[in-house]
A and B are shown apart, each in its own frame.
Chain A
């Protein structure tokens, strides 16, 4: 399922992440997944939240740079070899993964993973054809 991801520029200093979670908490925004890619000096914070539009708006009001991109949330069976099978399907279809990370929590025996790929349409079609559960907005709890 295609969902919205908010990315933010982070400086590598104490308290930087706190500034962001404070804003999210104050605005009643619930985080579903979080990931940080970093160098020694700075990083990129990627967020899946229940309300992407509102999040983007409140962060920008605070002077932060955000970009919204489309990523795919996938329900991966929470058992040995679950992710391995999924990656096999993706590799066979010759789809490149830019990055991936897991979402908080799990339910009904599945764990959710977020994928950023080079061709999201092909990615979702491939998974659907192989009967892999691409999670929906509802089960992921997004507005």
Chain B
């Protein structure tokens, strides 16, 4: 069995990786300085020129980028290449409704697919495998990322996209899928459906690559037991490419970051100070090879720990823990980024007050999102039909904004608790 997709780099010595990072960082900073006026201005404000960055020891001098910058620079402000050189976009939701759009050259896609291929091989995949990809295809990066990686490995790829469980199970049994790629909650749901239909003996899965949402060790063991597979975590974000920024190996103790393409730092989210390895803090990534959307020191808002040291799998790439939380108020629901501010904007636009509460839960392994909204004098009517019509319009507007179903619960005025000072907007009941 093939063990690595690109052994030379995946198992390179720390010195060699560092040398490569130094060389690529200097080149990337120059590329950004020359082509991204938005970031060049940020560097100039700090009195920096590309000459100030000679190695990764100088990385800390560079200014951060945040989701706010992405919003401000929307849509073309952070591009490092002309549109004519780009071949694709992917997109995710932003903080206040404006979406984040990331651009890709063919080269960018090629390297991204390499990263996904590494994840598939690390999960035991090779050209004899049948890889069923049930992440969403489209603007979401999950589907096309794993699809591309699966092609590179040479697996027979089933581009299923998400949903339609009957069809998923039919292909899984008829074509004997061996690797499953989807969100962990969908994997748990499929596992349940497989048992309910008595299909356990008909499936040939050996591994699953599950990402795009938080999941616990307990959930991992449940899925592994139920499907008879080994379940691997994968991490990524659209701003940096998509899934495959980091991936788990057979040791299942953290995700190896593809350090030839990304430099990871951990910072104190309040001061921005760089923290040593092994300390918990906010994860920051610098993209070393992206051409079209070359983000330097991008603050992910994910709270993690980095661990270095030789891994039993043979890889030398630094490992990141599963994200342990967020340094902002972003929620991940069904793999989709949700900001309370987006929900607030929709409520106000639809004539409701900004007093609301968001309740997130996980029911039968699937995330649910409910928004409690207070009825107002203006929206009230003696005609129940008018109220339910308004409620439906609000559900549609939220779906248009977030891309997922949100249950709206109308409550009596002044029943949502007003807390002293900061309002409690989000109640997350999920036990992850």
Give the complex CA separation of A103 and B383 in angstroms: 18
Are the C-beta atoms of A38 and B384 separated by less than 8 Å? yes
Are the C-beta atoms of B388 and A39 separated by less than 8 Å? yes
A136 vs chain B, min Cβ distance (A): 23
In the complex, chain B residues whose CB is within 8 Å of the CB of A42: 375, 387, 410-411
Are the C-beta atoms of A5 and B413 separated by less than 8 Å? no
Give the complex CA separation of A16 and B410 in angstroms: 14
Interface residues in B401-432 (C-beta closer than 8 Å to A): 409-415
Give the complex CA separation of A98 and B384 in angstroms: 10
Q: Does A37 contact B (CB under 8 A)?
A: yes
Cβ proximity bits A1-43 to B, threshold 8 Å, 1 near / 0 not:
0000101011100001000000000000000000001110111
Give the complex CA separation of A39 and B375 in angstroms: 15
**Which of A59-67, A78-86, A104-112, A121-129 faces chain B?**
A59-67
Give the complex CA separation of A9 and B410 in angstroms: 10
Are the C-beta atoms of B414 and A44 separated by less than 8 Å? no
Are the C-beta atoms of A10 and B412 separated by less than 8 Å? yes
Are the C-beta atoms of A67 and B381 separated by less than 8 Å? yes
In the complex, chain B residues whose CB is within 8 Å of the CB of A7: 380-382
Give the complex CA separation of A63 and B377 in angstroms: 11
Give the complex CA separation of A44 and B411 in angstroms: 12
A32 vs chain B, min Cβ distance (A): 16
Secondary structure class of chain B's binding surface, majority of residues? loop
Interface residues in A84-109 (C-beta closer than 8 Å to B): 98-99
Q: A9-B412, A11-B415, A41-B410 are in contact. Are A67 and B384 (CB under 8 A)?
A: no
In the complex, chain A residues whose CB is within 8 Å of the CB of B337: none
Q: A9-B375, A44-B387 are in contact. Are A69 and B411 (CB under 8 A)?
A: no
A-side interface residues, number (CB < 8 Å)? 22
Interface residues in B228-286 (C-beta closer than 8 Å to A): none
Give the complex CA separation of A7 and B379 in angstroms: 13
Give the complex CA separation of A119 and B384 in angstroms: 18
Q: Does B376 contact A (CB under 8 A)?
A: yes
Are the C-beta atoms of A65 and B380 separated by less than 8 Å? yes
Are the C-beta atoms of A44 and B409 separated by less than 8 Å? no
Are the C-beta atoms of B384 and A44 separated by less than 8 Å? yes
In the complex, chain B residues whose CB is within 8 Å of the CB of A10: 412
Are the C-beta atoms of A9 and B380 separated by less than 8 Å? yes
Give the complex CA separation of A11 and B414 in angstroms: 12
In the complex, chain A residues whose CB is within 8 Å of the CB of B388: 39
Cβ proximity bits B78-106 to A, threshold 8 Å, 1 near / 0 not:
00000000000000000000000000000
Give the complex CA separation of A73 and B326 in angstroms: 59
Q: A11-B415, A39-B388 are in contact. Are A67 and B409 (CB under 8 A)?
A: no
